[in-house]
Structure 1
Amino acid sequence: MRSRAVLTLIIVVLAVIGAGLYVLVRPTGAESRPVAGPEETATAYLAAWEGSDIGAMSRLVADTPADFAERHLAFSRDLDIESLDLIPGTLRRHGGQVAELPFQGVRGIRDLGAWPFASTLRLVRRDGRWKVLWTPETLHPALKDGGRIRLKEVPGPAVELVTRSGTRFPRDSGAESYLGMLGADLEGGGSGYALEAVRTDGTVQELAAFAPPSARRVRTTFSRPVQAAAARALDGVDSPAAIVAVKADTGEVLALADRLGGELGGQGAIRGLYPPGSTFKVVTAAALLSRGLTPDSRVSCPATYTPPNGRPFTNAGGHAAPGTTTLTGAFAVSCNTTFAEQSVRLLSAGGLVDAAELFGFNKDIEGPGVCGTVKPHGNADELGADAIGQNSVVASPLCMALVTAAVQDGSWRQPVMTGRRGKG
């Protein structure tokens, strides 16, 4: 009996000792949770970061910066980030107190796409727990030495201008300066964007680029064969000259070429104002017809005409028509004296400026270019000179092309250089 009792006592003591050992090894309550290793801490941090749980992130950081939350919010806000995917790599330990976890990330930028990056979580053991050693470099390696990352708009390619039939212009079309002007006035294919790291010393490094859409192709009204003919017509011309071809029933410009040097950016045919001379007699003839003359009206074409108290007007080469001729005949030989005399006789009270404005003078051109101006005359001399395209009258080659187009079609039209308008 005694031996059995002793044996029973020994078993009880061992059981008690075993229970005591269990209590020592496995305490109860909150302290029973195992301490997370560096890999678990890193994984938890990345998961919280993906979920934008800044509170959970900050609890896993050693010495959390005061602006930790604002840095993350501002980073996402300024770069318009709408998603974040993080893929952990393989943990590397450096002794028992330090570790690092490289990871890959992809940020989604609204309307632009994916922005991949790679960084490293550095971890340290503090007070028996693994924590993330956070620096701005954790957000992106480009922030290692401070600075910021910005999203910068980059202008897209200029529009590609083509002929009215959709073909490209030849390199030596003769219209290069005009096409450059038109392209600059049109919106291109949209903007691209670049992500740039701006360092504290002001230097900039491009981190990623989001290409703009391809160049937008825009048809002009230019005709390739007409443009080629205009350019050829000026080959070998040394004196100032310009050619503007216009489709009369629409106002579409079919060709532009000039030998005006670099004047007005090489766009003298549409921006330059010059005395139109006898070409203005088209406008003067219209004014005279509105005052009662007809194409068959008999008029004189003397070698010299002198207005009352004025200076004499003469014809080129001393030309004179014996007796009288028709208004049509005087127009055909560009008789200065006829148009000066008839204007003084019929337009002294006004009418020349009104007629000119029907042909685009003193008006704004809706597109690129200018037309011309005519001022009210102060005396007969000024009126006679205005009537033959001198004195106050100036016009662009474009303006005079529109004048002749208006005569052919019966209506003056604004010029068009891109797109199409009206018939044809």
Structure 2
Amino acid sequence: MTAEVNDAVAQAFRDEWGQVVATLIRITGDWDLAEECAQDAFALALRTWPRDGVPTKPGAWLTTAARNRATDRLRRAAVGAAKLREVAAMTHEPTVEADEIPDDRLRLMFTCCHPALAPEARVALTLRTLAGLSTAEIARAFLVGEQTMSKRLTRAKQKIKNAGIPYRVPPAHLLPERTPAVLAVLYLLFNEGYSATAGAELVRRTLAAEAIRLARVLVRLMPDEPEAVGLLALMLLHDARRETRLSASGELVTLAEQDRGRWDAAAIGEGVALLDGALRRGRAGPYQVQAAIAACHATAASAEDTDWPQIAALYGRLARLTPSPVVELNRAVAVGMADGPAAGLRLVEALRESGALAGYHLLPATRADLLRRLHRDAEAAAAYREALELATTDTERRYLAKRLDDVEGHR
């Protein structure tokens, strides 16, 4: 099997998994069957593409293969002619009403975000079925154990089956109660693409692009929901820096060291305009506040021109809206830049003593940076070593190792 075919299958998985699974769920109504048949389709691709070549439209090929597998499974299970007719209908696109969003992935998101499901389960299930994230990846995103997450996913699927939750974008009057969970799904999906939780690849561009695409669809569906607009603005403002986050050799480049001339000015302009429109509605939520923080960075002419007092104040507001130790850690960074490293370190030490972020590599990494700036190199080196042990991507480990070498060289 050639490396090119392996790469093509891997790329097809990133690009097409969510669409294949969502389409099968729409037709069969069986979540486990949809995932299993999608997996079978990718396995078939690994066997046949080396012989027949990579198809012109991998997504269509994979959907057809998965559909055929589902047809065979259902026929063997003798579920009845009606169900078989539904599966056969996959060869024809259904008629879409004018007020519907013709995207199975968006239907899948709203189904996963049904209020009958626990909030954590809604997000986790969508990331598993829509984005194809592994259980381990989702568990890390939630800072829980893999076994805990596996049980959560199983219970969520069973709940959908037993409750007969419909696979659809809900009517307009039900949209508000589903929106927070849908936004959370998009946010985690973008974050996993923007900064992967594990592996050799820090940036998974397909996931980030998919999150932005779905966010645009959601904004078209709910143009009067400022948090949906705020989230899209946040994604665009972060994604504008994507090409500068890694060096040509794949090394991590910090925000202060990035070439701002290579940032995507069009994405920044769109993000700022969206944010301004959302804020004018007078209902600033956490995504709008985070977008405002991102806008402070994106519009600063240089790292030295960054308005750190404003960013620290915005993090203070975000902490009141959505209290969390991660927000407090980010506020500590901003305070450390606005008021000096000693002020930031006091906040970090309080977080460390609380144990709220135990096992989270950015806590010791942040502490190490503040100690380095205070010229406490021996303590900084110990903190960098702690962060190195906890980091889950190769890119971050290399960055931390370089920082460790730097402070050890000063001793």
Q: TM-score, normalised by structure 1?
A: 0.19
* Structure (1 or 2) with the greater strand fraction: 1
* Structure (1 or 2) with the greater helix fraction: 2
Question: Highest Rg: 1 or 2?
Answer: 1
Q: TM-score, normalised by structure 2?
A: 0.20
